[in-house]
Amino acid sequence: MTIFVVAIGSLGIAGIPGTATMAASVGLSGVGMGAQFGMVSPILAIDPIIDMPRTMINVTGSLTNALVVDKMMGNLNLDDYNDMSLNTLDSKANKESAEK
């Protein structure tokens, strides 16, 4: 039952920074331990500090996954990927318009 409650509760909050508190409250109240939520208040004080690296790891993982899938499907242009002059979309548009 606990796994079901946490899985359903996490569907609506995935990808939103700072929602670990909501996930904890949904999980605790879903299994009848809502009164115990006050015991996690020391964790809530440091959660923003913990949440920043957790978000960084999630973003890095998503970027890595996108690159791996792109490479496996043959869509990754390594010349553009390694070209440091194309670090923004603006510079790429300016380079294409200059070539015309």
- Summarize pLDDT for 50-77 with one digit per residue, the tens: 888 888 888 899 899 999 999 999 998 8
Q: Is the pLDDT of residue 92 over 60?
A: no
- CA neighbours within 13 Å on the CB side: how many for 68? 6
Query: Which of 85, 86, 16 shows the shortest CA–CA distance to 54?
Result: 16
Residue pointed to by tokens 């318009």: 97
CA distance 93 to 87: 11
Region 38-61: mean pLDDT is: 81
Q: Locate 52 and state its tokens.
A: 């920043």
Give the residue, 28 or 69, on which the prediction is more confident.
Answer: 69
Element holding 41 (H helix, E strand): helix 41-73
Q: How far is CA 30 from the centre of its chain?
A: 25
